[in-house]
Structure 1
Amino acid sequence: MRPLWSTTLNTSGSLAGPTLKASDPPLGTDPSSGGSSGISEQTRPMDLLDGVIRSYDWGSTTALSDFRGVEPSGQPEAEFWFGAHRSGPSSFRADGRSATSLEMPFLVKVLAVDRPLSLQVHPDEATASVGCRREDVAGVLVDDPRRCFPDGRAKPEAVCAVGQFETLCGFRPIPEALEMAARSNLPERVLGPLRSGDWSTAVASALAAPPEEVAAVTSAAEAGDGPAAGLVGRLAALHHGDPALLLVPLLRHHVLDDGDLLYVAPGVLHAHLSGLAVEVMADSDDVVRAGLTSKFVDSMVLVGLLRPERLVDVEMATGSVHRYDLEVDDIVLRRLSGNGLDVEVGGSGGPELLLCTDGSASVRSGDGRSDLVALRGEAVWIGPGDGLTDLRVDGTVHWVACRDLGCHAQ
């Protein structure tokens, strides 16, 4: 049996369960108001779920406004969140109440990457839990920029391209990495461990490289050709002198087409570079950065999290209804694409989200008493009590469900 989205294999091979926190709101309450909403998680009917924009400097000033069909705000808009995370909980259209973690146990984001993100890795459950406790004991506040594990939960994620999306994700096989390292003038401190297959030492050595070694790699990129040289030069222009530049030639460069997906497991080093994508992840904001950022970097912790043996492959969507392989058993992601495509959704036993990324989606409850229409940039939430529900797709919908009882295309 494969691991669950909310649990990942720890280093001993056993399953580590999710961390429950005293700060989680009581069932049926509104976290933002502290009181009862009048509609509990168990009784709420399907509804439109309004997302929350998150602004970071790497975001686009136009992509998410175009996606939502609204006027640009003039600010870089990086992420559009659908979830219950305390940093930006979504709200139900009918009554404005914030979603709770029972109603949205996963987090769905639309990323709009205009500038490259940091080089980073996400933790597994065991490491996140231990890291969270350690930071709590050290008195590092949850909103402290030095905090790597504010939630204490694993953070696997799936990235599905909307249009073209570019990313660095996962290490190259060692023979290929050695070839790229030599062409990129990487120092012996990195090449030596690589020859013996010691990724941890190679990465730690790269991140500890002195300025002259970083300058040598940057100079080689300026004088060289090929995709690796171009990427190093492009990132060096933004992060001059950053030792993490030495890792760029060792990473696999992916250019995803519309509907292509990458599953980014905990421990996989990655940096998203450009484009629009739907990201489905555990309800966690835990992340450890290696560099290429002005944010806090903890290279020692990052090296301990790495799973360099993971080869990341691109999965292409095939057909009008495509179920992606997320390597977990409790979250299912499907891409539905077509005109007049009729699909039966709901009935999974858990909450589901239908995010319209193109065209429109019309949803009718099984009892015929409720009809909703989601346009591009809108999402429909379906609760466990809604049962089987009819969906008509005229465009593209990303359908996330907590459990899988099958998809019945008519």
Structure 2
Amino acid sequence: MYVIRPVPKRYAWGSYTRLQSLFSDEPALAAADTGDPATGAVDTANSPLAEMWFSGHPQSPSQLIAPDGTHTTVLDAIRERPEYMVGRRCSEQFGPELPFLFKIIAARIPLSLQVHPVDFEARAGFNAQNAQGIAQDAPERSFHDAEAKSEMVVALEPFEASVGFSPISVMLHNLSMVSHPLAARMVDALTQRTLRIGQTPEGFEHADAMMPMSSMVWPDSRRRIFRAFHTAITAGPVEGLETQLRYASLRVSDPVARSAFHHALAAAAAFPNDPSVLTLLMLNPVSLQEGESVFIPAGIPHAYIHGMAAEIMNNSDNVLRAGMTVKHKDIPRLLHTLNCQPGAPVDPADARFGDMATRDGDLIVYTPHIDEFMLAYGHTGPTAAAWPVMDRVLRRYGALLRQLARGRIDQGRHKPRIVLCTAGSVRCSSEMDARELSAGQAVFIPAAEGWVSVESCGGGSSDGGSFLMATTQV
């Protein structure tokens, strides 16, 4: 069992307090980490802290401290002993690497409007930028590796996001309420039907020219969504948008629409005159309470608005941005990978029944349809009784949940695991080792250490805590 040190990431959208409080004993926060202002990173210790990476990514590997006190990195330790660290099956399927990237993030203001590339776009983009000689840390680089990237978020406190396209009827309702020429143009894009493939409504030729080849088999509704999205992200700076959004929000009665306008207004305040904030009226507003989650497959447009959450994804740092950012935007590649299919956000806790009770606490397991990662969030000891999300789980599954056998929280054998204590204290045990963790402390548990259990440290009324466990599904 290794102590694992997170890698701090300082970006302008981060929090001044949330991560600093959780990781108050982390040595890396005692001094500023280096950054590049051209990419949006800030290199002063008093700057916002946006993310803490538990990582085996080549550009930001976490440090590991072995029981004997020796230091290495996740990357080097796995390369030296892949079967011991990540297990035979994981190593054979993904190679000698940690197949997931686990983060804790805290957003003070909205993040960029973005899409993550699908597999062929990631490979093609990474190889093309390598051939062009673009440095790995260059601000204009979009592809930092050749991996597709899907991700999942689990809220640690109330968390707001906009994820995936809503139905066209909802988009039209929201946009038609905004008295602004750009919103009116987006409404035109959504309402002008085309009866034949290759037929382009007047004024949208540039949008159609940027559609991927796959658009030849799209239904007309997806092409209309593409044109409206393109209209917003390719427009120049606009005046008066925040004012018109505010006027429109005062007339909104539907709670879902109110959330969409709330997100758009937050983005407009953070990024004045940025036309891409109107796309948030096209997306599904998501409001998560602690323990609730959303899965975001590659190609799905999204923007995080506010809050603190655990985030787990493929071992990739590829991001294609369209707006609401000071960082590099790659609109052509984003449009080529954009999924224009409307759909409700995916709750990975519902992907299969993964919730169970434990001897002294509660655990929810989040299992998206992807082999590279899964996540568990648990409360142990007396604190578990006050976890509202478990009340919702009990209401949803009723007697089925109550019939589950009670025992310690056991997750995974013969695969890599990262356990992070998020509040109080917990005891983490494997077949070979055990360690007590307090808030902000984490361990990496190699596959060779067998079964892992997490429970409260003792029997006192004040004992107990919360934890996250990141691992794979293979």
TM-score by length of 2: 0.70
Please state whether the residue corresponding to 2:367 is helix, strand or coil: coil
Pairing 1:277–2:347 present = no
Q: Which amino acid aligns with 1:280?
A: I
Aligned to 2:140: 146
Aligned to 1:75: 47
| Larger displacement relative to structure 2 (319-328 or 108-117) | 319-328
Q: Distance in 2 between matches of 1:351 and 1:55?
A: 27
How far 1:69 moved relative to its partner? 3.3
Aligned to 1:85: 57
How far 1:78 moved relative to its partner? 0.8
The C-alpha deviation readout for 1:36-79, integer Å capped at 9, x for no partner, is xxxxxxxxxx2221112111111112111211234885221111
Pairing 1:325–2:297 present = no
CA contact (8 A) 1:141 1:147 kept: yes
How far 1:131 moved relative to its partner? 0.7
Q: Distance in 2 between matches of 1:229 and 1:328?
A: 32
Aligned to 2:345: 312
Distance of aligned partners of 1:164 and 1:230 in 2 relative to their CA distance in 1, 3 Å threshold: closer
Aligned to 2:121: 127
How far 1:229 moved relative to its partner? 3.9
CA contact (8 A) 2:380 2:455 kept: no
Of 93, 116, 120, 2:110 maps to 116
> How large is the Cα RMSD of the aligned pairs?
2.2
Of 395, 404, 418, 1:353 maps to 418
Of 99, 105, 114, 1:105 maps to 99
Please state whether the residue corresponding to 1:64 is helix, strand or coil: helix
Runs of 4+ in structure 1 off by over 6 angstroms are none
The C-alpha deviation readout for 1:267-291, integer Å capped at 9, x for no partner, is 1111111111000011111001010
CA contact (8 A) 2:5 2:62 kept: yes
Q: Distance in 2 between matches of 1:187 and 1:108?
A: 37
Per residue, is there more helix in 1 or in 2? 2
Of 185, 188, 205, 1:189 maps to 185
The C-alpha deviation readout for 1:319-369, integer Å capped at 9, x for no partner, is 52222131213422222223187223341x3211112222222123325xx
> In terms of Rg, which structure is larger?
2
Aligned to 1:23: none
Distance of aligned partners of 1:364 and 1:240 in 2 relative to their CA distance in 1, 3 Å threshold: closer
Pairing 1:302–2:334 present = yes
Aligned to 1:236: 268
Aligned to 1:385: 448
Aligned to 1:253: 285
Q: Distance in 2 between matches of 1:344 and 1:188?
A: 54
Distance of aligned partners of 1:371 and 1:315 in 2 relative to their CA distance in 1, 3 Å threshold: closer
Aligned to 1:400: 470
The C-alpha deviation readout for 1:92-139, integer Å capped at 9, x for no partner, is 122221111646331110001112111111011111001111111222
Please state whether the residue corresponding to 1:163 is helix, strand or coil: coil
Aligned to 1:344: 410
Aligned to 2:3: 48
Aligned to 1:159: 153
Q: Distance in 2 between matches of 1:232 and 1:328?
A: 31
Please state whether the residue corresponding to 2:154 is helix, strand or coil: strand
Please state whether the residue corresponding to 1:300 is helix, strand or coil: helix
Q: Distance in 1 between matches of 2:285 and 2:52?
A: 25
| Larger displacement relative to structure 2 (110-119 or 387-396) | 387-396
Of 12, 18, 21, 1:63 maps to 18
Q: Which amino acid aligns with 2:469?
A: W
- Percent identical across equivalent pairs? 29
Q: Which amino acid aligns with 1:86?
A: P
Identify unmatched segments of 5+ residues in structure 2. 31-44, 79-95, 194-220, 253-257, 357-361, 383-406, 457-463
Q: Distance in 2 between matches of 1:133 and 1:180?
A: 40
Q: Distance in 2 between matches of 1:166 and 1:160?
A: 11
How far 1:258 moved relative to its partner? 0.3
How far 1:311 moved relative to its partner? 2.9
CA contact (8 A) 2:370 2:473 kept: no
Please state whether the residue corresponding to 1:209 is helix, strand or coil: coil
Aligned to 1:26: none
Q: Which amino acid aligns with 2:442?
A: A
CA contact (8 A) 2:349 2:365 kept: no
Q: Distance in 2 between matches of 1:162 and 1:296?
A: 29
Aligned to 1:169: 163
Q: Distance in 1 between matches of 2:293 and 2:190?
A: 29
Q: Distance in 2 between matches of 1:364 and 1:146?
A: 44
Q: Distance in 1 between matches of 2:126 and 2:289?
A: 36
Please state whether the residue corresponding to 1:390 is helix, strand or coil: strand
How far 1:248 moved relative to its partner? 1.9
Q: Which amino acid aligns with 1:218?
A: E
Please state whether the residue corresponding to 2:141 is helix, strand or coil: coil
CA contact (8 A) 1:351 1:383 kept: yes
Of 206, 222, 225, 2:246 maps to 222
Q: Which amino acid aligns with 2:291?
A: G
How far 1:190 moved relative to its partner? 1.8
Aligned to 1:33: none
Please state whether the residue corresponding to 2:158 is helix, strand or coil: strand
Q: Distance in 2 between matches of 1:346 and 1:299?
A: 40
Q: Which amino acid aligns with 1:244?
A: S
Please state whether the residue corresponding to 1:215 is helix, strand or coil: coil
Aligned to 2:391: none
CA contact (8 A) 1:351 1:401 kept: yes
